[in-house]
Amino acid sequence: MKVVLYARVSTSRQAEKDLSIPDQLRQMRDYCKQQKHVVVKEYREEGASATDDKRPVFQEMMGDILNAKLEAEAILVLTTSRFFRDATAARIWKHNLRKKGIRVIATTQEVSDDPMGDFVEGIFELIDQYESQMNGYHTLRGMKENARRGYFNGSNAPFGYSRNRVTDARGNQKSQIEINPEEARIVQRIFALYAEGHEGHPMGAKQIARLLNSEEVPVRHGSKW
pTM score, whole prediction: 0.69
**Distance in angstroms (rounded) separating the CA atoms of residues 85 and 131:** 8
Burial 56-88 (b: 16+ CB within 10 A, else e): ebbeebbebbeeeeeebbbbbbbebbbbbbbbe
What pLDDT is recorded for position 201? 80
What pLDDT is recorded for position 220? 87
Report whether 3 contacts 73 (CB < 8 A). yes
What pLDDT is recorded for position 13? 67
Task: Tell me, rounded to whole angstroms, the distance of Cα 180 from its chain centroid.
Answer: 31
Report whether 14 contacts 20 (CB < 8 A). yes
What pLDDT is recorded for position 170? 85
What pLDDT is recorded for position 127? 94
**Distance in angstroms (rounded) separating the CA atoms of residues 27 and 22:** 9
Domains with residue ranges and CATH for the chain:
2-140 (3.40.50.1390), 181-222 (no CATH)
Mean pLDDT by 10 residues, the chain (225 residues): 94 70 94 96 91 93 93 95 93 93 94 91 93 92 93 91 90 92 95 86 91 92 86
Report whether 165 contacts 175 (CB < 8 A). yes
Q: Which DSSP string do the residues of 50-113 spell out, in sequence order?
A: SSSS--HHHHHHHHHHHTTSS--SEEEESSHHHH-S-HHHHHHHHHHHHTTT-EEEETTS---S
